[in-house]
């Protein structure tokens, strides 16, 4: 360990181009964050600043905030490791926006609630509800920061070969936490918009160069055999697959390794002669169930992500908000075509990544490493392009991590400290508290992040979506479209649904970590029994790993039942609230509602 930590030894084997591009991105991001933080100090400045920019900039900013390490590195890694099934992730990440647009964005904008806790309090006139909403900001936030930390650890371990995973996590975590605590990195529109274009450039340019040199997307997929057809593009160069890589027929076809893991593990526990019959009976049906559950989690989860909803208010009016959403869908849709291409080419030309499994030497680093292949033919171009994808990766996990850190710290400092613990605290005390909360949350995120090296980035983000799908999505959807909802109904459904999804996701992670051959396997060894239990009951494992298919209906059902039972407690001015949520903004009902409300409440 000791020689690794001396700075000179660290620089050994470092590609100067890659280091330069990464360092520039980090420096520019931090500098831009501080520069704009100086000019805008309060939350309202943030919104006003947003309102003065055009639809194009705003759409770029939303997209920049949305595309995290999962989109940039994780999707490519997962397509490489699991094949076709992983395509559901980019598709649903992009298409979830449609649900947001159709059912939630318009009404929430008209209601004028900037965050979900604000909406919950306004819709139900109940501060209790705010507390529950704040808890889920933290739950979803921590699940979302873990994969960002894995992205950071992977990228730094790639730039500095020999650097242990956890050092990268601590380093990046500390830099961003410090930055947020000192006031940089507020969710500034221009910084986020800039980040989108860095990511778009960094993912698309290397893909075009790689495809021009090694063969196009279709041809690269075509180099894999399917069950029905042999490889169709024989001119595409291909290295022999390693033993750990999934076979061609499984990889190209639906219901592959990602969705059949549980049944395969169950079959492996059976005597050899029973395995084939068992697989034939259960593999495909369970895999279909897994696929649908994944789709529900991702589509509903997108519609319930707190840090995305906030951005809808940075538009001058409803029409601009809708145009912005349209552009967001185009911008992220175009982006999501590219990452799978890395995975496909990586399978053909970098099969050695399969041996690293999901760790830092595994498929999650394919986006960073693949461009270096060009080095053999074009010398320095390979290093430059690899440097560009590293810069994109930094932009991805830095922007998402700092955005999450700001919103989680805000929830803790503003809602928990400022409203619950010390309502009488002065603004100076709150500012000081914000800094300490940032350090606390950053610290927890780093600790959690250093545990998750064996887990796939994209998989972990999917879990954050599953929790959002079972908590925020039912809350927003039902509150907007059903006037019979009561505080108790909403709270029960959201708490139970969300916690079920949370427990399922956490159990899956702990059990997977217990299987790790590295140090994490020892730390979590006590959860090994979980895997033996699931080998007996593969269906239970699927329902734990992808809980959305039961937790979302459970949350909605609880909301309906409890609301019916407490129907006397429907807010008295519900008709007015519904009118504000649904009537066109041009009728000016919001203004009237605020006047009535403040007159009635007497403050």
Partner 1 sequence: MSSPTPPQDDGIHSESFLRTLMRRQLALSITCAGTFLVALIAMPLLNYFKPETMAIRVAGFTLSWLILGVLFFPFVWIISWMFIRRSIALEDDEVRAVKAGRKS
Q: Which is nearer to partner 1, 88 or 124 (CB)?
A: 88
Q: Cβ distance 68 to 144 under 8 Å?
A: yes
Q: Which of 154, 164, 157 lies closest to 1, judged by CA? A: 164
Q: Contact between 279 and partner 1 (CB under 8 A)?
A: no
Selected binder of partner 1 within 21, 47, 99, 459 (CB under 8 A):
99
Stretch that binds partner 1, among 252-260, 360-368, 375-383, 539-547 (CB under 8 A): 252-260
Contacting partner 1 within 339-358 (CB under 8 A): 340
Q: Contact between 560 and partner 1 (CB under 8 A)?
A: no
Q: Contact between 252 and partner 1 (CB under 8 A)?
A: yes
CA distances 548 to 101, 402, 480, Å, are 21, 27, 21
Selected binder of partner 1 within 44, 52, 54, 229 (CB under 8 A):
229
With 0-12 CB in 10 A as exposed, 13-18 as middle and 19+ as buried, what is 421? exposed
Q: Cβ distance 153 to 360 under 8 Å?
A: yes
Count of CB atoms situated within 10 Å of the CB of 271: 7
Q: Write out the two tokens for 171.
A: 């380093």
Q: Contact between 578 and partner 1 (CB under 8 A)?
A: yes
User: Nearest distance from residue 514's CB to partner 1, in Å?
Assistant: 31
Q: In 28-59, which positions are buried (b, 16+ CB within 10 angstroms) versus exposed (e)?
A: bbbebbeebbeebeeeeebbebbeebebebbb
Q: Contact between 102 and partner 1 (CB under 8 A)?
A: yes
Q: Which is nearer to partner 1, 32 or 589 (CB)?
A: 589
Residue pointed to by tokens 């996990």 = 397
Q: Which is nearer to partner 1, 228 or 428 (CB)?
A: 228
End-to-end CA distance of the chain: 63
Give the whole-angstrom CA distance, residue 313 versus residue 211: 40
330 alpha carbon, distance to own chain's centre? 19
Selected binder of partner 1 within 50, 64, 77, 106 (CB under 8 A):
106
Q: Contact between 334 and partner 1 (CB under 8 A)?
A: yes
Q: Which is nearer to partner 1, 46 or 89 (CB)?
A: 89
Total residues binding partner 1 (CB under 8 A): 67
CA distances 29 to 39, 189, 374, 506, Å, are 16, 13, 28, 33
Stretch that binds partner 1, among 115-123, 166-174, 284-292, 421-429 (CB under 8 A): 284-292
Q: Contact between 314 and partner 1 (CB under 8 A)?
A: no
Query: Taken in order 357, 360, 365, 369, is the CA torsion positive or negative?
Result: negative
Q: Contact between 323 and partner 1 (CB under 8 A)?
A: yes
Q: Contact between 603 and partner 1 (CB under 8 A)?
A: no
Selected binder of partner 1 within 57, 129, 255, 524 (CB under 8 A):
255
Q: Which is nearer to partner 1, 103 or 436 (CB)?
A: 103
Selected binder of partner 1 within 260, 291, 383, 389 (CB under 8 A):
291
Selected binder of partner 1 within 142, 143, 336, 417 (CB under 8 A):
336
Selected binder of partner 1 within 2, 7, 8, 228 (CB under 8 A):
228
Q: Which is nearer to partner 1, 435 or 582 (CB)?
A: 582
Q: Contact between 74 and partner 1 (CB under 8 A)?
A: no
Contacting partner 1 within 186-225 (CB under 8 A): 216-223
Count of CB atoms situated within 10 Å of the CB of 10: 17
Give the whole-angstrom CA distance, residue 18 versus residue 591: 54
Q: Write out the two tokens for 1.
A: 């360990």
User: Nearest distance from residue 344's CB to partner 1, in Å?
Assistant: 9
User: Nearest distance from residue 219's CB to partner 1, in Å?
Assistant: 5
Stretch that binds partner 1, among 158-166, 169-177, 229-237, 394-402 (CB under 8 A): 229-237
Query: Taken in order 177, 182, 183, 188, is the CA torsion positive or negative?
Result: negative
User: Nearest distance from residue 578's CB to partner 1, in Å?
Assistant: 6
Q: Binding marks (x or -) toward partner 1, 581..600, rule CB under 8 A?
A: -xxxxxxxx-xx--x-----
Count of CB atoms situated within 10 Å of the CB of 356: 14
Where helices occur in 223-317 by DSSP H, the ranges are: 248-252, 257-268, 272-302, 306-309
Q: Contact between 161 and partner 1 (CB under 8 A)?
A: no
DSSP single-letter state for residue 547: T
DSSP single-letter state for residue 187: -
Residue pointed to by tokens 């990511």 = 199
Interface contacts to partner 1, rule CB under 8 A = 84, 87-88, 90-91, 94-95, 97-99, 101-103, 106, 216-223, 226-229, 232-233, 252-255, 284, 288, 291-292, 295, 299, 318-319, 322-323, 325-326, 329-330, 333-334, 336-337, 340, 481, 575-576, 578-579, 582-589, 591-592, 595
């Amino acid at each position: 360990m000791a020689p690794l930590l001396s700075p000179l030894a660290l620089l050994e084997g470092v590609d100067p181009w890659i280091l330069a591009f990464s360092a520039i991105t980090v420096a520019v991001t931090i500098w831009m964050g501080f520069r704009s933080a100086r000019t805008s100090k309060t939350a309202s400045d943030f919104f006003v600043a947003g309102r003065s920019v055009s639809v194009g900039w705003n759409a770029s900013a939303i997209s920049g905030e949305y595309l995290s390490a999962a989109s940039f590195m994780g999707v490519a890694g997962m397509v490489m490791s699991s094949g076709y099934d992983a395509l559901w992730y980019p598709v649903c990440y992009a298409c979830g926006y449609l649900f947001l647009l159709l059912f939630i964005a318009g009404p929430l904008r008209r209601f004028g609630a900037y965050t979900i806790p604000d909406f919950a309090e306004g819709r139900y006139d109940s501060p209790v509800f705010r507390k529950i909403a704040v808890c889920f900001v933290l739950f979803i936030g921590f699940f979302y920061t873990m994969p960002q930390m894995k992205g950071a650890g992977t990228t730094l371990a790639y730039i500095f070969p020999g650097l242990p995973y956890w050092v990268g996590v601590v380093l990046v975590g500390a830099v961003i936490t410090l930055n947020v605590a000192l006031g940089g990195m507020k969710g500034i529109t221009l910084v986020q918009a800039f980040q989108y274009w860095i990511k778009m450039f960094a993912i698309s340019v290397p893909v075009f160069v790689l495809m021009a040199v090694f063969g196009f997307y279709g041809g690269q997929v075509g180099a894999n055999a399917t069950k029905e057809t042999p490889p169709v593009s024989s001119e595409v160069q291909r290295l022999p697959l390693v033993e750990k890589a999934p076979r061609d027929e499984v990889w190209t076809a639906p219901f592959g390794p990602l969705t059949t893991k549980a049944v395969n593990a169950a079959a492996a526990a059976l005597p050899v002669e029973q395995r084939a019959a068992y697989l034939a009976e259960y593999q495909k049906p369970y895999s279909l169930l897994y696929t649908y559950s994944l789709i529900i989690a991702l589509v509903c989860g997108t519609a319930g992500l707190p840090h995305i909803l906030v951005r809808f208010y940075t538009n001058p009016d409803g029409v601009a908000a809708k145009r912005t959403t349209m552009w967001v869908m185009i911008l992220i849709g175009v982006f999501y075509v590219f990452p799978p291409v890395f995975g496909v080419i990586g399978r053909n030309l970098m099969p050695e990544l399969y041996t690293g499994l999901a760790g830092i030497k595994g498929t999650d680093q394919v986006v960073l490493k693949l461009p270096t292949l060009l080095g053999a033919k074009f010398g320095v171009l390979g290093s430059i392009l690899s440097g560009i994808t590293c810069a994109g990766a930094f932009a991805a996990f830095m922007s998402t991590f700092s955005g999450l850190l700001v919103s989680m710290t805000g929830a803790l400092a503003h809602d928990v400290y400022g409203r619950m613990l010390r309502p009488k605290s002065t603004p100076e005390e709150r500012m000081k508290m914000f800094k300490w909360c940032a350090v606390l949350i950053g610290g927890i995120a780093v600790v959690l992040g250093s545990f998750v090296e064996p887990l796939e980035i994209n998989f972990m983000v999917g879990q954050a979506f599953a929790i959002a799908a079972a908590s925020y999505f039912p809350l927003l959807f039902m509150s907007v479209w059903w006037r019979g909802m009561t505080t108790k109904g909403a709270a029960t459904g959201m708490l139970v649904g969300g916690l079920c999804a949370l427990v399922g996701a956490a159990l899956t992670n702990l059990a997977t970590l217990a299987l790790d051959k590295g140090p994490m396997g020892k730390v979590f060894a006590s959860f090994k029994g979980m895997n033996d239990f699931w080998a007996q009951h593969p269906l239970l494992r699927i329902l734990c790993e992808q809980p959305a298919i039961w937790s979302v209906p459970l949350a909605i059902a609880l909301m309906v039942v409890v609301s019916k039972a407490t129907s006397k407690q429907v807010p008295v001015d519900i008709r007015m609230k519904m009118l504000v949520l649904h009537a066109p903004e041009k009728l000016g009902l919001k203004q009237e509602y605020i006047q009535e409300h403040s007159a009635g409440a007497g403050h």
